[in-house]
Amino acid sequence: MIVATALVTFSCSSTEQMMDVEYTSPTVAPLTQVDSPSPDPRVGLGAGLFDAEEAAWNLTMVSQTPPPKDFLGVTNSDLAFKGKYAIQGNYNGVLVWDISDPANPVLTKEYLCPASQSDVSVYGNLMFVSGEGFSGRLDCGTEGVQEAVSDVRLRGIRIFDITDIEDPKYISNVQTCRGSHTHSVLKDPNDDDNVYIYVSGSAPVRPEDELPGCSDASPDEDSNSALFRIEVIKVPLANPEMAAIASSPRIFENLEEPPSHGLAPSDKEALETAKANGAFTVEFGGQENVLPSQFVSQLFKTQMGVDGEPTAADSAALREKLPSIISNMFGGGGDEDEDSRKGPTQCHDITLYPEIGLAGGACEGYGLLLDISDPVNPKRIDAVADSNFAYWHSATFSNDGNKVLFTDEWGGGGQPKCRESDPMEWGANAIFTIDNGKMNFKDYYKLSAAQTSEENCVAHNGSLIPVPGRDIMVQAWYQGGISIFDWTNPENAVEIAYHDRGPVSPDQMQMGGSWSVYWYNGAIVSSEIARGLDIFALEASPYLTENEIEAANSVKLDYLNAQGQPKFVWPKTFALSKAYVDQLERNKELNNTAVNMARQSLANAEKASPKMRKQILTKLASQIDGLASASGNSAKVKMLADSVRGLASNP
């Protein structure tokens, strides 16, 4: 150290000469050549509640903490974060953990107040908790509610004062017709007096006798119907007990026949192969479909009068006539449904990204893009449907807002949907680019490790990890474990890390696994349905270097909500510039000479005196500028140059 300082001092005083300090080059490898453990160690893990076998890759488990006894055996649900605390929802209430030492989370409060799903959010000194099930009580009692109509039932949002987070005070609640399965908290950049809560409820509408004004008739019969709408609750920050429903926007109005995203690349390939093998295809539902061979042979018989093996001429004739045959075969009919409404009656999740003014609504059979610049009146700007998607569950935007990823919670989360026989397009993520307010389908991503029939598994909740210059997400797959994947290239998402346990029970499906997992200030925190709170740390690998991890961890959040997406901004650090260099090398977007030059200069600058550092960095920035045009990724090179310039101007 002393020697190095001496060297640097020496080099600084000699104006021209600069002694190079030593630096290390991380091992990098392109994502097209990911060398994941094979055979996949997640397949065939032994069962157990607290002693299940585990498999991890590029992820270290830092701690696993079981729930307290009143909450044990009851579902742990979603997470919210504030300061050094993680707040964990549980169907029996909420748990407040101090996670300042991730290796030893400390349970600071267990608040018994049953309701499902108990999804939690925070804003300022307020905490919001969702209640949807029929046994939630206004008085937080544990005895449930037996009557189908009752004035003690809570279905909606509970509001707590968490000025002292270790001792929350239940101050109010807002009842809603369908209860609150989940909710999202919207802080409008132009309104500092209120926050808004978007309530999504998927359970049936409660009786009017229980909550006046609730109607489950179709909106055509009753314009006040609780179906086909979401609720927006306005919470005055100065008087949170005055929180009330401000609007019930019908964001699904006229939602018919949305553009389908068309075929996935693998489907296209299958279609081309089938066509090459002489299959008959027909346009149906806006896309090309292969006709089943039995159907084709029937057509030969019934439509063309061909008995026996058709000749080449017969085939050509059928191909020509096919469109009109198909169209004739449709017949009339269908008009009995003309009057019935199409489209979703509610959303499951709405992910709010206020900095870009957009929200992603995952609403039954549709993924919606919403303009939320007027918080009380969200406007739908686009909608997508997908025949592979059973149930649109939640959305995550890329940090730049140019992409959105939707999840399909096929089977509702309680079913094993990651078995070897389950299609990779079902219960997966679908990735879309957003081009001028239109969503365009690119690809699916599903957990690749086959799970057993004793493991509930499907795409579920997660968050971005703020690795600069890349879109990396950590995601919960229930008993499929946790998967970290890179979706920078929307057409090819690649897994780069994971953790998984064997099933809770070896011989029956017992609910368990990661409900949700989020990156929060360097920790990866997972709510394990049966096993409690798990905390992980990223491990460096050729697909994610130490520099990239350090740059991610330089982002500091004051709070985080499950369905609220913060815009990440990276402080100008050496780790940031080094992360970009690693990425340019990984993707072969800068040659070795340039990469070494950049690393050497950054290492020198880091050790240099402030004055010398500025000189070195300014020179490096202009050198990098000069490399941009020759690079395969000039945008990334410019990001590197900007980060170096930013470093140079740091005081």
Residue list 338-367, contact with other proteins (CB under 8 A): 338, 340, 342-345, 348, 364-365
Compare residues 114 and 566 and give the one whose CB is closer to other proteins: 114
Helices and strands (H, E) in the chain, number of each type: 9, 32
In the complex, minimum distance from the CB of residue 318 to other proteins, in angstroms, rounded to a whole number: 14
Interface positions, 374-413, toward other proteins (CB under 8 A): 385, 387-388, 390-391, 410-413
- Tokens read off for 392: 């649109």
Residue where the block lists tokens 């945008």: 635
Which residue among 26, 354, 378, 416 contacts other proteins (CB under 8 A)? 416
- Tokens read off for 505: 């029970």
In the complex, minimum distance from the CB of residue 279 to other proteins, in angstroms, rounded to a whole number: 11
Which residue among 34, 49, 450, 540 contacts other proteins (CB under 8 A)? 49
Go through 251-269 and write b for each residue having 16 or more CB atoms within 10 A of its CB, e for each that does not: bbeebeebeebebbeeeee
Q: Coil, strand, or helix at residue 91? A: coil
Which residue among 290, 376, 381, 628 contacts other proteins (CB under 8 A)? 290
Amino acid at 311: T
Binding segment for other proteins (CB under 8 A), chosen from 200-208, 312-320, 435-443, 638-646, is 200-208
Name the CA dihedral angle for 134, 507, 391, 352, rounded to a multiple of 10 degrees. 70
Instruction: Examine residue 66 and tell whether it contacts other proteins (CB under 8 A).
Output: yes
**Is cis: bond before 39, omega within 30 of 0?**
yes
Total of residues contacting other proteins (CB under 8 A): 77
Instruction: Examine residue 272 and tell whether it contacts other proteins (CB under 8 A).
Output: no
Number of alpha carbons in the 13 Å side-chain half-sphere of residue 84: 12
Interface positions, 594-613, toward other proteins (CB under 8 A): none
The alpha carbon of 543 is separated from its chain's Cα centroid by a whole number of angstroms, namely: 20
Amino acid at 362: A
In the complex, minimum distance from the CB of residue 299 to other proteins, in angstroms, rounded to a whole number: 8
Instruction: Examine residue 414 and tell whether it contacts other proteins (CB under 8 A).
Output: yes
Cβ-based neighbours of 249, under 8 Å, separated by 6 or more = 229, 230, 232, 376, 377, 378
Binding segment for other proteins (CB under 8 A), chosen from 322-330, 367-375, 518-526, 545-553, is 322-330
Q: What is the DSSP string of 323-361?
A: HHHHHHHH-S--GGGTTS--S-S--SEEEEEGGGTEEEE
Q: How many residues appear in the chain?
A: 651
Question: How many angstroms separate the CA atoms of 381 and 369, rounded?
Answer: 6
Compare residues 185 and 447 and give the one whose CB is closer to other proteins: 447
Binding segment for other proteins (CB under 8 A), chosen from 233-241, 281-289, 354-362, 634-642, is 281-289
Instruction: Examine residue 273 and tell whether it contacts other proteins (CB under 8 A).
Output: no
Instruction: Examine residue 256 and tell whether it contacts other proteins (CB under 8 A).
Output: yes
In the complex, minimum distance from the CB of residue 493 to other proteins, in angstroms, rounded to a whole number: 22
Interface positions, 517-556, toward other proteins (CB under 8 A): 530
Which residue among 331, 593, 610, 651 contacts other proteins (CB under 8 A)? 331
In the complex, minimum distance from the CB of residue 69 to other proteins, in angstroms, rounded to a whole number: 5
Which residue among 50, 167, 189, 569 contacts other proteins (CB under 8 A)? 50
Binding segment for other proteins (CB under 8 A), chosen from 324-332, 375-383, 464-472, 518-526, is 324-332
Which residue among 17, 24, 32, 294 contacts other proteins (CB under 8 A)? 294
**φ/ψ bin of 144: left (φ > 0), alpha (ψ from -120 to 50), beta (otherwise):** left
Instruction: Examine residue 332 and tell whether it contacts other proteins (CB under 8 A).
Output: yes
Instruction: Examine residue 10 and tell whether it contacts other proteins (CB under 8 A).
Output: no
In the complex, minimum distance from the CB of residue 557 to other proteins, in angstroms, rounded to a whole number: 30
Of the candidates 209, 205, 213, which has an alpha carbon nearest to the alpha carbon of residue 244?
213
Interface positions, 494-523, toward other proteins (CB under 8 A): 508-511
Compare residues 27 and 328 and give the one whose CB is closer to other proteins: 328
For the purposes of burial, counting CB atoms within 10 Å of the CB of 2, is it exposed (0-12), middle (13-18) or buried (19 or more)? exposed
Q: What is the DSSP string of 527-553?
A: EETTTEEEEEEE--BTTB-HHHHHHHH
In the complex, minimum distance from the CB of residue 365 to other proteins, in angstroms, rounded to a whole number: 5
Which residue among 5, 27, 298, 649 contacts other proteins (CB under 8 A)? 298
Name the CA dihedral angle for 253, 254, 257, 259, rounded to a multiple of 10 degrees. -70
Instruction: Examine residue 633 and tell whether it contacts other proteins (CB under 8 A).
Output: no
Neighbour count for residue 602 (Cβ, 10 Å): 22
Interface positions, 115-174, toward other proteins (CB under 8 A): 116, 132-135, 143-148
Instruction: Examine residue 74 and tell whether it contacts other proteins (CB under 8 A).
Output: yes
Question: How many angstroms separate the CA atoms of 9 and 241, rounded?
Answer: 63
Compare residues 319 and 567 and give the one whose CB is closer to other proteins: 319
Interface positions, 206-225, toward other proteins (CB under 8 A): 207
Instruction: Examine residue 103 and tell whether it contacts other proteins (CB under 8 A).
Output: no
